[in-house]
Amino acid sequence: MTSPASQRNLRLDTAKGLLIFAVVLGHFLEEIGSWKADGTRLALTGIYMFHMPAFVFLAGVTAKTSRLGQRIGTFAVILVAFQTLYFVFVSVLGIDRQFSIERPFWILWFLLGMMWWLLLLPAIARFPRAAILLSIVIALVVGALDSVGYSLSLSRALVFLPFFVVGATYGKRIVHALGEATLVWKAVALVAALGGWLLVYSQDIPHQWLYGSFSFDRLDTPDALGLGTRGALLLLAAVAIAALLCVAPNRQGFVARVGRHSLAVYVLHGFVVLAVAEALPAIQDLWGSTGVLVLGLVLAAVTTMLLALPVFENTIRRASGHVVSSYSAAVAKSSGERVDAR
């Protein structure tokens, strides 16, 4: 009999484990360092040019149309719960952060993005090729719309939409093909990804381009140049994702276990990052880029390992699942009572 663990694609878990560490590291480097120093900017560029597109792609690979309402409801419950917790947290610490009901707090945008992408999943499954083409067009042209930005996470959801669509339609085949690629092709993918990283770094473009949340106008870029820049960045992100999946091993290990608990690490690490940033201000000025990189690596490793403990992921999923199930039961009971009343 095949165990549940052996049925999983461990390459996906390993990739998620590497990516969630990159997410945590990137946020530590941003908060205790900056994008201005060359050392930290090099590392941050490498992280931000592909880590969220990669997560979105993997979300598409694992997305299912079954129990769609429950899945969307789970993300909604987690979003509301942590939006509230972060509001209390920053208020107590006196941290100046702007967010509101329609604007998820900092890292929580991904949860709302997942809700948008899952809502589109039936249409994507029904018209896969058209969905891919349309998503690419939308991702490119949305930057020309000044009205689309942080609110409701719409800009990021649309800019990164192609990665979810490709993941949902052909992702499993892509992951398998990249995992089975020859050493030569894996080397080519790695060299191409490294070249893309250094190219983006050398161009010294505003790092806000990598967030996917700003219009071309806010980035002081004409629409024609903005379309080309965004298209190039999306392509380079795809190359980096391919390189990651080429080298991520399809076997059990610590990194794969971390990947299975990436949701808890994602929603919880912000508390640690903000607390450390409050306790250790101006580290960049005191230690320099090298010191910030070393400290960031240590903090990210410890934070990721601790938050990847099963108790956190299990608690979040069980609590959110209980809320969704209770709500669904209450709605069903209410509907049944109305039918009986007739």
What's the confidence (pLDDT) of residue 3? Answer: 43
* 34 vs 284: CA distance, rounded Å: 7
**Inside any domain, residue 4:** no
Whole-structure pTM value: 0.92
**Inside any domain, residue 233:** yes
**Inside any domain, residue 19:** no
What's the confidence (pLDDT) of residue 336? Answer: 60
Q: Which domain, by its residues, includes 253?
A: 27-326
**Inside any domain, residue 266:** yes
Count of domains in the chain? 1
* 212 vs 52: CA distance, rounded Å: 10
What's the confidence (pLDDT) of residue 38? Answer: 81
**Inside any domain, residue 202:** yes
Across the chain, which has 342 residues, the per-10-residue mean pLDDT values are 55 96 95 83 95 96 92 95 94 79 89 96 96 97 88 93 98 94 94 96 93 92 95 97 94 93 97 88 70 91 97 95 83 61 55
- Provide the angle, in degrees to the nearest 10, between the axes of the packed helices 161-179 and 223-247: 30
HEC string of 207-275 equals: HHHHHCCCCCCCCCCCHHHHHHHHHHHHHHHHHHHHHHHHHCCCCCCHHHHHHHCHHHHHHHHHHHHHH
Q: Which helix (H) or strand (E) holds 152?
A: none
